[in-house]
Structure 1
Amino acid sequence: MDYLIGVDVGTTSTKAVLYDQQANVLQDFKQGYSLYRDASGMAEQNPDTLVEAVQSVIKQAAQAANLDQGKLLAVSFSSANQSLILLDDKHQPLTRVLTWADTRARAVADQLKRTPAGKQLYASTGTPIHPMSPLTKLLWLKQAHPDLMARASYFADIKSYLFYKLFGVFRFDVSIASCTGMLNVTTGDWDERALALTGVQPEQLPEVVSGTTQEIGLLPDAASAMSIPAQTPFVYGAFDGALSNLGVGAIEKDTVAITIGTSAAVRVVTDHPVIDPKQRLFCYAVDNGLWVVGGPLNNGGDVFQWAVEHLVDASAVQNEQVDAYELANDVIASVPAGAHGLLFHPFLGGERAPLWDANARGSFFGLSQLHTRADMLRAVMEGINMNIATVFTAVADLVGEPRTVTATGGFANSEVWRQMLADVLNCPVNIPNSFESGCLGAITMAMVSLGMVDDLSAVTKLVGEVKSYHPDLTSVATYQKYLPVFRQVEGLLSPAYSTIANLQED
């Protein structure tokens, strides 16, 4: 038996999945690490701790494989996008990793977004003007830490830093480059306007390569740390969102992929760049004539976790000896669609798509003396789904009505949530049995790189069984009445978000 390892480098943990040569999952491994946060909006990782975690899970996966009777064909990567590390002239870190979740550039982003230059940058790069992007992080660092910027010789993300530590090369894949806000999404070259604005030179950035590019020849310390042959091919892969689409077989524009984990995302793959004139969505290059259009949402399972912690009766959990989430799902299932006229806007962590407003805040609307905690629980789950539906509608407006939705993430553990998503979207929803779509997408890119399959469409044969959910027409009719009100209230509250955010900060 020969083996492939897919690695997903995430915000709070790295996972490795060991596959056989037919892409069957054999075993998976995970190692967590800290995300450093504070009230300023900081969200940072230690880059070397993350590299150690990657090496650890690869070593565990390699030890689980029988390499005496087979070969490790390749290791391929999915990773979080929109991170930034400043490096000195010896490629040593001057900062920790500023992750996508770092919002300290929000004032810079707000100012740039209102200018013609901001609109032009979005149109040429496909990256919304938001504190998540390395572009705005660089502009903020120029203002807040000019000494650091003056000392920086190179600007990396976590994948380019990882490959430098493993191979001594400074490269990253085109999908990660496309997420920086500095790559022209049409030409594939660094955008001159973005470079001029940040003051960054092309030679200070990693070399951009195809996601199927291999690196061979691990540095001795890296090969030893992972206990694998130094000539093992390492394939760059792509960013996690693009590979999540690939890993569920959603590589045609009539299939939308939705991920609902801690955060959420709605994405569709196209064969040409699609720029949203309303600036609601991103458009990033994937690889080889493919682009991904969609929107990331800050607020997904983390909001539901907040609701369970604060709205589920703790004494009932203790007395009945049941899991709090299981009880919450039972309670939600007992409340009719629409939560008796209660709406919830789930912006507890600011919001990216569709608002692109780091100051956005959550709210209940329509609350009366007749409402109960059960209604509020259902309204929270419905609010998360209605927010997703807003992005889903924007994607459909640009790319066309989808035939189906394929959804993955932790939400899929909830039967009531699966059905509710189909009802709110008014579209069939397929839930694949495979659990790590990013890693499956990564090894599919490795299989293309190795010549094992002809192209990325081969993934459709690797996904496996799915369970389908069809919209309930009665619930659909209810949500069709509530969705316009949800969007109306969102529009009315938006002007006040910065005011309340400033009051909270004070």
Structure 2
Amino acid sequence: MNYLIGVDVGTTATKAVLYDEHATVLGHFSKQYALYPNSQGMAEQDPATIVDAVETTIHDAAAQADLEHGKLLAVAFSSANQSVIMLDKNYRPLSRFITWADTRASKVARQLKHLPLGKILYQRTGTPIHPMSPLTKIMWLHRAQPAKVAQTSYYGDLKAYLFHQFFDVFKLDVSVASCTGMMNIRTQDWDERALKLAKIERHQLPEIVSTTTRETGLLKVAQEKMGIPADTPFVYGAFDGALSNLGVGAIQSHEVAITIGTSAGVRVVTDHPVIDPHQRLFCYAVDHERWVVGGPLNNGGDVFQWAVENLVDVNAAETEPVDPYAFANHAIAGVPAGAHGLIFHPFLGGERAPLWNANARGSFFGLSELHTRADMLRAVMEGICMNIATVFDAVSDVAGKPLSVTATGGFARSMVWRQMLADVLDCRVDIPESFESGCLGAITMAMESLGMIHQLNEVTDFIGDVQSYLPDADAVATYQKCLPIFKQVEKLLAPAYDEIAQLQEEE
């Protein structure tokens, strides 16, 4: 038997999945790590911890494979995007990874967004002007940490740093590069105008390579920790959102993929760059021929976790033979669609798409003395879905109304949430049996790189059983009344977001 390993390097954990050469899952492995936040918007990761997690999960996956009688054909990568690490002339870290979730560049982003140049850069790079963008992060670093910038020879990201640690190269796939706000989506090379604004030179960034590019010749230290042959090909792969689409087979323009984990994302694949005239959406590369258009949302499962921790009746939950999340889902199922006229805006962590406002804040609207904790729990779940619907509508505006939605992520384990998403979107929702779509997408790129398949759409042969959920007409009618109110209230509150955020910072 021959093997492939897909690795997904995320914000709080690295996952590895062991497959056979027919993409059958043989084992799951993961290792968690800390995200370092603070009240000023910092959200950083420790580079050594990330390297260790990747090496450990690959080691554990390889240990389950029978490499005495089989061969590890490749290791392929999915990774979070929009991280920045400062490196000295020997590629040693001068900083931790500044992740996509870091909002310290908010002021820089806000100033740039209001300039004509901001719109021009969005049109050239496909990256919305926001503190998540490495472009604005590097601009902020020049202002906030000039002494460290003076010592910096190179700016890398999560994947470029890992491949340097493993192979002593400084390269980055076109997919992750396209998420930086510094790659021109038409030339697929670093954009001179963005580099000038960031005050960096081309040689300070990684070389942009294809998503199917392979590296071999593992450095000895990494090879020993992973316990795999040094000549094992490592395939760069793409950013996690693109590979999530690929891993669920949503690679046609009429198929939308939605992921709801800690955060969320709505994405559709096109055969050409698509720019939203209202700057609500990103346009990033899947590979050199395909593009993914969509929007990332800060607020997903983490908001539901907050709701469960703060709204579930602890005394009632203790009498039930289920965990608090199952108890919450049961309570929500007993409340009708619309939560008795209660609407929740889930902006607990600011918001990216469609608002692109790091100062956005959450709220309940319509709350009365008649509402219960169960109503509030349902309103939270509905609010997350309605927020996703606003991005879904924006994607439909620029890419056409989809015929189906494929949804993955931790939320997909909730039957209540599955049906609710279909009702709010008024669209069929398909839930694949396999939840690790990023890893499957990564090994599909490895298969194409190795010549095992001829085109990426052959991934549909590897996807297991799918459960489909059709919209309920009565619930759809209710949500079509709720959604306009959701959007109207958000617009009314938007002017106050900066003021409330400032007030909270002063506390």
Give the TM-score, by structure 2 length. Answer: 0.99
- Match in the other structure for 1:84: 84
User: Where does residue 432 of structure 1 map in the other structure?
Assistant: 432
Q: Aligned equivalents of 1:120 and 1:215: distance in 2?
A: 35
Q: Within 5 A, what are the aligned runs for 1:54-453?
A: 54-453=54-453
After superposition, the CA RMSD in angstroms is 0.6
Question: 2:68 and 2:195 mapped to 1: Cα distance?
Answer: 50
Name the SS for the 1:369 alignment partner.
Answer: coil
Q: Tell me by how many angstroms 1:191 deviates.
A: 1.0
SS of equivalent to 1:328: helix
CA contact (8 A) 2:133 2:179 kept: yes
| Separation in structure 1 between the aligned mates of residue 215 and residue 390 of structure 2, nearest angstrom | 41
- Counterpart of 2:247 in structure 1: which amino acid? G
For 1:361 and 1:243, the matched residues in 2 are separated by 30
Taking the aligned partners of 1:322 and 1:244, their CA distance within structure 2 comes to 31
Cα shift at 1:193? 1.1
Instruction: Provide the C-alpha distance between the structure 1 equivalents of 2:438 and 2:500, rounded to a whole number of angstroms.
Output: 37
Matches of 2:326 and 2:92, distance apart in 1: 47
SS at match of 2:16: strand
Deviations 1:216-235 (A, max 9, x none): 11111111111111000000
Query: What amino acid is the match of 2:232?
Result: T
Residue type at the aligned position of 2:145: H
> 1:372: Cα distance to partner?
1.1
Residue pairs, 1:10-21, within 5 angstroms: 10-21=10-21
Please list every run of 5 or more consecutive structure 2 residues that lacks an aligned counterpart in the other structure. Answer: none
What's the offset of the Cα at 1:332?
0.6
Q: TM-score, normalised by structure 1?
A: 0.99
Name the structure 1 match of 2:466: 466
SS in 2 for 1:287: coil
**What CA distance in whole angstroms lies between the structure 2 residues aligned with 1:300 and 1:272?**
29
Residue 190 of structure 2: SS of its match in structure 1? Answer: coil
Deviations 1:294-334 (A, max 9, x none): 00000000001111111111001112232111111111111
Q: Shift in Å at residue 464 of structure 1?
A: 1.4
Tell me the CA shift for residue 365 of structure 1.
0.4
Structure 2 counterpart of 1:292, which letter? V
What amino acid is the match of 2:277? P
* Alpha-carbon distance, 1:288 to partner: 2.8
SS in 1 for 2:73: strand
Offset at residue 246 of structure 1 (A): 0.3
After TM superposition, the runs of 4+ consecutive aligned structure 1 residues lying more than 2 A away are none
Unaligned stretches of 5+ residues in structure 1: none
Letter in 2 for 1:73: L
Structure 2 CA distance for aligned equivalents of residues 319 and 48 of structure 1? 44
Q: Counterpart in 2 of 1:23?
A: 23
Amino acid aligned to 1:281: L
Q: SS of the residue aligned with 1:5? A: strand
Which residue is equivalent to 2:39? 39
The one-character-per-residue Cα deviations of 1:1-50 (angstroms, maximum 9, x if unpaired) are: 00000000011110110000000000011011111111011000111110
- Contact 2:163/2:171 (<8 A) preserved: yes
Q: Which amino acid aligns with 2:6?
A: G
- In 2, the alpha carbon distance for the partners of 1:223 and 1:307 equals 44
- Give the length in aligned residue pairs: 506
Instruction: Render the CA deviation track for 1:456-480: whole Å, top value 9, x for unaligned.
Output: 0110111111000000000000000
Q: Distance in 1 between matches of 2:336 and 2:309?
A: 22
Question: Structure 2: how far apart are the matches of 1:493 and 1:288?
Answer: 41
Matched-pair contact (CA < 8 Å) for 2:174–2:288: no
Tell me which amino acid in the other structure corresponds to 1:323: D
Q: Write out per-residue CA displacement over residues 184-214 of structure 1, whole angstroms, 9 at most, x where no aligned residue.
A: 1111121111011011111110000000000
Residues of 2 paired with 1:487 and 1:249: CA distance?
Answer: 31
**Separation in 2 of the partners of 1:115 and 1:462?**
47
Q: Which amino acid aligns with 1:348?
A: L
Q: Is the 8 A contact 2:303 2:346 kept in 1?
A: yes
One-letter identity of the residue aligned with 1:14: T
Question: How far does the alpha carbon of each residue in 1:364-422 deviate from its partner, in whole angstroms, 9 at most, with x for none?
Answer: 00111111111111100000000000000000000000010000000011101000000
Whether the 8 Å contact between 2:3 and 2:71 is mirrored in structure 1 is yes
Q: Quick check: 2:320–2:327 contact (8 Å CA) kept in 1?
A: no
1:487 aligns with 2:492: no
Find the aligned partners of 1:180 and 1:146 in 2 and give their Cα distance: 21
3-state DSSP of counterpart to 2:19: strand
Aligned-partner Cα distance in 2 for 1:489–1:163: 46
One-letter identity of the residue aligned with 2:201: Q
SS of equivalent residue, structure 1 residue 320: coil
> d(CA) in 2 for partners of 1:190 and 1:22?
37
Structure 1 residue 148: Cα displacement: 1.0
Match of 1:502 in 2: 502
